A and B are shown apart, each in its own frame.
Chain A
Amino acid sequence: MIYLDNAATTWPKPEAVYFAIDSAMRAHGANPGRGAYRMSVEAERLVDDTRHAIARLFNAPAPERVIFTLNCTDALNITLQGLINPNGRVVTGPFEHNAVTRPLHALRSTGVQVAAAKPDGAFGIDLDDFRALCREGLDFAVISHVSNVTGCVAPIKEIAAITHEQGGLLVLDAAQSAGALEIDMQDLGVDVLAAPGHKGLYGPMGTGVLVLAAALPMRPFREGGTGFQSENPEQPTEYPWRLEAGTINLPGIAGLAAGVRFIQSVGVNMIAEHEAALAQLLAAQLRQIEGVRVFGDKAPRTGVVSFRLGATGVALTGVILDDSFGIAVRTGLHCAPAAHRAIGTFPEGTVRVSFGQFNTAADVDALVAASRKIGAAPIGTAG
């Protein structure tokens, strides 16, 4: 099986990740930060080490403001709901995932204003429109770093500058970029970063992180046990406990730590180069097939390529690739209907290929050969 759906979750994981999860459960199976005995303290040390590793990876100023979450969606919900003021205003982009648009849609009903900048017609965000929307006032902007549909990279440094000019904070949805592109929060000007643990960071599903540049007065998303200040009826205001309550996912965090060590040993730049090279190879070869349309940069900068195969519907293309060629790709809207509207592929969506560190040029060749064959056997244009 050729796995080309790394934008959904990376697979396989590095061997060290499987091992770390197993040994965390066997050797450090105590509840971290909940006891003074050695096993609990060792478990807490593992968690703390991982906070440091994540902070270093994103050049975040304070490891205690690395919050462990269930996934990127969880991190975004905690942020959007914890940061918004009553009757506040949020500016967002044209390529946002439902992890952003659905929480914002729900906030609208509470009086929050949401404005989305237009696309620029070439798979990017219209920065003039974004600036104009920010000038009308904002609490914060929330922008996806890399579109999960086209793989195009948003100019975060400029976006951060515009946002800050208008007195807003920048929340970065790093679902597709964390681990796949170098991210320096301080250099880019990112105030809050939300990232999944199971995609570019190569950890297991059920892990994610929320990283805060400053000690923002965010409202807790959930309250509960923290293992200290137990006499206090209120959630502690100190980070990370302000936003972390209840027993955390220790085996998952151990796996995430191993994933982060893996990408640091390879080098995030090397990973980015490898994935972009495969995407460029694929995009170039697909464009040579008659009737194929590729949606994205001429020379992709990340590992995502979206396309349509002539008259063969996208869902049908995906099923045939799986059933007859053993190639796993994602088809449809990729939970990002706004992005598909922006690039004119709504409602059918696209066939999306997304590479990971373990894919090779042979995978590209197999996909291109399969696409040629499918395109040459026209039937069932429905899907």
Chain B
Amino acid sequence: MTHTNDFRSDAMQSRYARQTVLKEIGEAGQKKLAAATVVIIGLGALGTNSANFLARAGAGTLRLVDRDVVDWSNLQRQSLFEEEDAARSLPKAEAASRHLKRINAALCYEPIIEDVNSGNIERIVAGASVVVDGLDNFYARALVNQACVKHKIPWIYGACLGTYGIAATIIPGVSACLHCLLPDAGEATTPPLSCETVGVLGPAAGVIAALQSAEALKIMVGNSAATSPYLIHAGLWDNDFSELPAVRVSGCEVCGQHKYGLLESGSRMAAASLCGRDAVQVMPPAAFTMDFDLLRETLGRIFKLEENAYLLKFHVNGMEVMVFHDGRAMIFGTSDPQAALALYGKYIGG
């Protein structure tokens, strides 16, 4: 994609003055930034904060990916969104592009309103200078990892939950990949550790997004060598800031043996709308281990649950959700399998 980001114009000179004066970036770095494409996958607290930093910094093309719409519960920490976005339930990718255009109109924005899956992830990251992780589940991160390692695209892992967050820069063939760090990341777990079930402190996400954005800038200006070789941990409530070694595993299935199993398989979760009903059944894989007691305890903290011998029931966003002992769920009030999968991932298992 071409764009007309004329960094030499006077206005642009003053816009980026505090950045080009930095010896780490300079005019040359700014030019490289203008030619770069950053893909931000997931537009929650991490993704919107990163998008804000990187659009202001002048990353030439921002591809913004999220299947969800803006919800009131997002406004506490997701910096780009406004009340009206939530009131109108705008798709996050559209709303983010619209706000960013008002911040920096000269950039090229590519909103993608899609769920990340094995069928589209390689297309989503295609042509990226760097990919920034704003995802909320490890299966999708494992997909991003395989796609980025396969196509040798650097990506910045970032995750935030409760009051802490972590970040790591993954440069395929150079640093540890996500599979080296978390070999079980692609496996489904229940209940999910998600913002919905555990909560998240806005500033923790801000810190991680700032780290990710700085790492992305280093890569886009052509100085990957300056990126952090560590897994950075930031605990904002218990004041625990640390750097953990991120060790590349020799013979790693993904970055060593180049096995990209997730990219070559279909969806783990089977979702099917039930004929005759406004309902979808989500069925996890047979290997899914369900801890029903833990799920009850976790969901019990946020919902009023009903239960009998066969199922657990709760209501969320106008939908009625029934969870069964083998991990499957019936979600009434939607006939959209993607919406049901998203809900399942947030509350039941991802």
Query: Which residue numbers of A lie inside 8 Å of B, CB to CB?
Result: 313, 315-316, 319-320, 323-324, 331-333, 335, 337, 340, 346-349, 373-374, 377-380, 382-383
Contact = CB atoms under 8 A, between A and B. Distances in A.
The 6 A-B residue pairs with the shortest CB-CB distance, nearest first, are: A379-B308, A323-B324, A332-B275, A347-B276, A333-B276, A320-B310
Contacts of A316: 311, 322, 330
Contact of B324 (A313, A319, A378): A319
Nearest to B322: A380
Given A377-B309, A379-B311, A380-B311, A323 B277 contact: no
Contacts of A337: 276
12 contacts: A313-B277, A315-B330, A331-B274, A332-B275, A348-B276, A374-B310, A377-B310, A378-B308, A379-B310, A382-B322, A383-B274, A383-B277
Contacts of B310: 320, 323-324, 374, 377, 379
Contacts of B281: 315, 319
Contacts of B309: 324, 373, 377
A293 B165 CA distance: 55
Given A320-B324, A382-B332, A377 B277 contact: no
B308 A377 contact: yes
Nearest to B324: A323
Contacts of B324: 319-320, 323-324
Contacts of A332: 274-277
A34 B222 CA distance: 62
A66 to B, nearest CB: 33
A332 B307 CA distance: 24
Given A346-B276, A383-B277, A323 B326 contact: yes
Contact of B277 (A320, A347, A374): A347
Nearest to A345: B276
B254 interface: no
B279 interface: yes
Given A347-B276, A383-B330, 10 more contacts: A315-B277, A324-B309, A332-B276, A377-B309, A379-B313, A380-B320, A382-B279, A382-B320, A383-B274, A383-B277
Contacts of A315: 274, 277, 279, 281, 330
B276 A383 contact: no
Contact of B325 (A324, A340, A373, A377): A324
Contacts of B274: 315, 331-332, 383
Contacts of B275: 332-333, 335, 349
A148 to B, nearest CB: 13
Contacts of A382: 279, 320, 322, 332
Interface residues of B, number: 21
B306 interface: yes
Contact of A383 (B279, B306, B308, B325): B279
Nearest to A346: B276
Contacts of A313: 277
Interface in B298-350: 306-311, 313, 320, 322, 324-326, 328, 330, 332
B306 A380 contact: yes
Nearest to B306: A379
Nearest to B310: A320
Contact of A323 (B306, B320, B325): B325
B325 A349 contact: no
A373 B310 CA distance: 10
A340 B277 CA distance: 14
A380 B277 CA distance: 14
A380 B332 CA distance: 11
A331 to B, nearest CB: 8
A349 B328 contact: no
B182 to A, nearest CB: 31
A31 to B, nearest CB: 30
A207 B313 CA distance: 42
A8 to B, nearest CB: 13
A319 B328 contact: yes
Nearest to A315: B274
A331 B277 CA distance: 11
Contacts of B320: 380, 382
Nearest to A377: B308
A379 B313 CA distance: 9
Given A332-B274, A379-B313, A380-B313, A323 B330 contact: no
B241 to A, nearest CB: 46
A335 B276 CA distance: 10
A374 B306 CA distance: 16
Nearest to B307: A379
Contacts of A378: 308
A323 B307 CA distance: 15
Nearest to B313: A380
Interface in B265-280: 274-277, 279
Interface string B235-254: 00000000000000000000
A282 B320 CA distance: 32
B276 A349 contact: yes
Nearest to B326: A323
A373 B309 CA distance: 10
Contacts of B332: 382-383
Nearest to A382: B332
Contacts of A373: 309
A382 B326 CA distance: 20
A346 B276 CA distance: 7
Nearest to B311: A380
A319 B274 CA distance: 11
B328 A383 contact: no
Given A379-B306, A382-B320, A320 B311 contact: yes
B330 A319 contact: yes
Interface in B79-106: none
B313 to A, nearest CB: 5
A20 B25 CA distance: 71
Contacts of A348: 276-277
A340 B276 CA distance: 10
Contacts of B276: 332-333, 337, 340, 346-349
Nearest to B333: A382
A225 to B, nearest CB: 33
B69 to A, nearest CB: 24
A299 to B, nearest CB: 28
A371 to B, nearest CB: 13
A379 B305 CA distance: 11
Contacts of A374: 310
A337 B276 CA distance: 9
A332 B326 CA distance: 21
B340 to A, nearest CB: 13
